[in-house]
Structure formats: C-alpha cells, structure tokens
Amino acid sequence: MTTSIVCLIERLKMKIAIASGKGGTGKTTVATNLAKYLSENRKVVLVDLDVEEPNSGLFLNGSLMNQKEMFKKIPNWESENCTLCGKCQSVCNFNAIMKLGENIMVFPELCHSCYACSELCPTQSLPMIPMKMGMLTEYKVEQLGFVGSKLDIGQEQAVPLIAQTLDYVDEMYSDDYLKLYDAPPGTSCPVIEATKDADFIFLVTEPTPFGLHDMKLAVETMRELKKPMAVIINRYGIGDAEVEAYCKVEGIDIIANFPNQRYIAELYSQGKLIYPHVPEFKAELLKAADYCKHLVKEN
C-alpha cells in the first residue's frame, strides 16, 4: 500500500456521502468497495441510507450486532374533550389531519411528526403516540461497521428513518471512525436529509446522456447545500465524453473512472466485492482513496 494511502487512513476523520442523480449508476458498488478497502487499515462505518431499497448489506457478510424497531410519533385523536374547533386541520401543512363532520381523521402516512396539531390543540385531544416505520440493523464485518435501515411496506416517508439512523450512528460510533453514507438516489428530500451534515460528496454517474442529465441535477442540489463535491464515473467507456466535458467547464474534479467490464457485472450479480478480483477496478479505487487525503489536508 502506498505511503499516501497509509497517511490518509491514519488521519481521515470525515463524513463522506456517496450520492447520485439517478438510480443504477453504481453508487452502492463504490460505497461498499471503498468502505471495505479503507477498513483494512482503520475504523470505518458504512451507513446505508437508501431506506426504501437498501442493498449495501448484500455485499457484506458480517456478524449481527444489533437490530431494533424504529418509530415515529403521530397524533391520536381522543374525542372526549375535543370541541371540534378545527384548529388541528388549519395548522397542518401536510393534510395529515382533517375535521370531517363530528370526527377528526388522522392520516399517519402523511404525518411529518411536527407536533403542531398536538401542541396547539386547546383541549389536548391529540396526544402523540409511537408508530413503527421500519427496522435498523447493525453488523460488524471485521473492522468495518455497517448500519442500515429499511422502511416498512406501506410507509411513505423516508426522511424520519434516515434522520434517526444518522442519530444512531453518531451516538454509537465516535469521531475516530470514518463515516461513509450510501445516500438515496435522486435529488428529493431523502437525499437532502442524507447529505446535509456530510463534509464532502462523491457523485457517482455514468457516461451516458441520462447519466449527465441527472448528474447536473445532483450538482445543482449540492451547490444549493453548499457542499464540496467530486465526480466518480462508473462503467467508463460505454458512452461518450460529455460528462468529462461538463465537469471540466464546471470545475468539478473527476477522481476515478471505474471500467465497464462484463466480469464486474458478474461479480456484482453474485453479491461479491469487486476490488479483490479486478485489478483495474482496484487501481481506480486507490485514486478515490488518495483524493480523500487531499480533502484532509485542505480541511
């Protein structure tokens, strides 16, 4: 291992989110391989925040350390003292509670647990009660820690579960862990929640028109959040050079180009990590790790 990588491993204390403008670009491939590689020489925790469709754990065989149900709070209407004033409906910005005739209806899937209806109810007729929304699982894979959460079927909101998962990681893993976040795809609210506290963003894309289009959206989103970022191109060689041209104009570093190989797809389909088997892939992974060294120096 090169001196620069050893230096990185000894000094790196950051939160890095690995995101993408669209699904299927190789975000989880990069996250799992980078996390496992870095964990060979220091403490790393990988956090799967794609709670609607988590799959990082498929590539990591570890020992189960913890499993817990995750809850959010929703209002529960108690009719005894309710005067049906309708204030709860008027203060809810999410249409999660409605006054219909002589009844108050609560729609748990729409509730954002903001407590407005409960706190502002003049008769305290809407106490908040817990509702299960998903499951958090924690594994240990040699020196690598892995935490992932999954929404229950029928649950519509990913943000509360992402927020609670991040709180769990901050509580259980000290600052001497490098924290890698496998973020949800896209640019919607779950991505904002997963990346808002990250120190740096790796945007994974593919060299195709669709990849470029959605990467532009991701770049705009990260700039709104004032997040420093760099780009990783996966399946390099299948498309054109438009992603590289865009990054050059926008002044965004491209830190690695992972090759497009059938063998890589075969390994992925078997749930195997790539870098132990494909030297070309590992060479690009080293570039991504080396880039982190420069991030530490700049910070």
Antiparallel, parallel or unpaired: β 128-141 and 144-151: antiparallel
Domain extents in the chain: 3-70+134-298, 77-126
Task: List the 63-75 sheet strands across, edge first.
Answer: 63-75, 128-141, 144-151, 44-48, 178-185, 15-20, 200-205, 229-236, 254-259
> Phi first, then psi: what are they for 197, rounded to 5°?
-105, 5
The tokens for 270 are 């078997």
pTM of the model: 0.89
The whole-number pLDDT of residue 61 equals 85
C-alpha 255/C-alpha 199 separation (Å) is: 17
For the chain, strand residue ranges (E) read 15-20, 44-48, 63-75, 97-100, 103-106, 128-141, 144-151, 178-185, 200-205, 229-236, 254-259
What is the residue whose two structure tokens read 């054109």? Answer: 240
According to DSSP, residue 114 is labeled -
Q: Which amino acid is at 57?
A: G
C-alpha 49/C-alpha 297 separation (Å) is: 28
* CATH number at 3-70+134-298: 3.40.50.300
The whole-number pLDDT of residue 293 equals 61
CB 150, CB 164: distance < 8 Å: no
The tokens for 14 are 């950051």
Reduced to 3 states (helix: H, G, I; strand: E, B; else coil), residue 256 is strand
CB 202, CB 255: distance < 8 Å: yes
User: 110 to each of 65, 106, 120, 221, 278, how far by Cα in Å?
Assistant: 32, 9, 19, 25, 46
**Along the 299 residues of the chain, how does pLDDT read in single tens digits?**
444 444 444 445 689 999 998 888 999 999 999 999 999 888 899 999 999 999 999 999 889 999 999 999 999 999 999 999 999 999 999 999 999 999 999 999 899 999 999 999 999 999 999 999 999 999 999 889 999 999 999 898 999 999 999 999 999 998 889 999 999 999 999 999 999 999 999 999 999 999 999 999 999 999 999 999 999 999 999 989 999 999 999 999 999 999 999 999 999 999 999 999 999 999 999 998 878 666 655 55
DSSP output for 19-50? EESSTTSSHHHHHHHHHHHHTTTS-EEEEE--
CATH level 3 topology of 77-126: Alpha-Beta Plaits (3.30.70)
The whole-number pLDDT of residue 1 equals 43
> Phi first, then psi: what are they for 74, rounded to 5°?
-130, 155
Distant-in-sequence, close-in-space partners of 226: CB < 8 Å, separation ≥ 6:
none
The tokens for 278 are 């494909």
C-alpha 183/C-alpha 120 separation (Å) is: 35
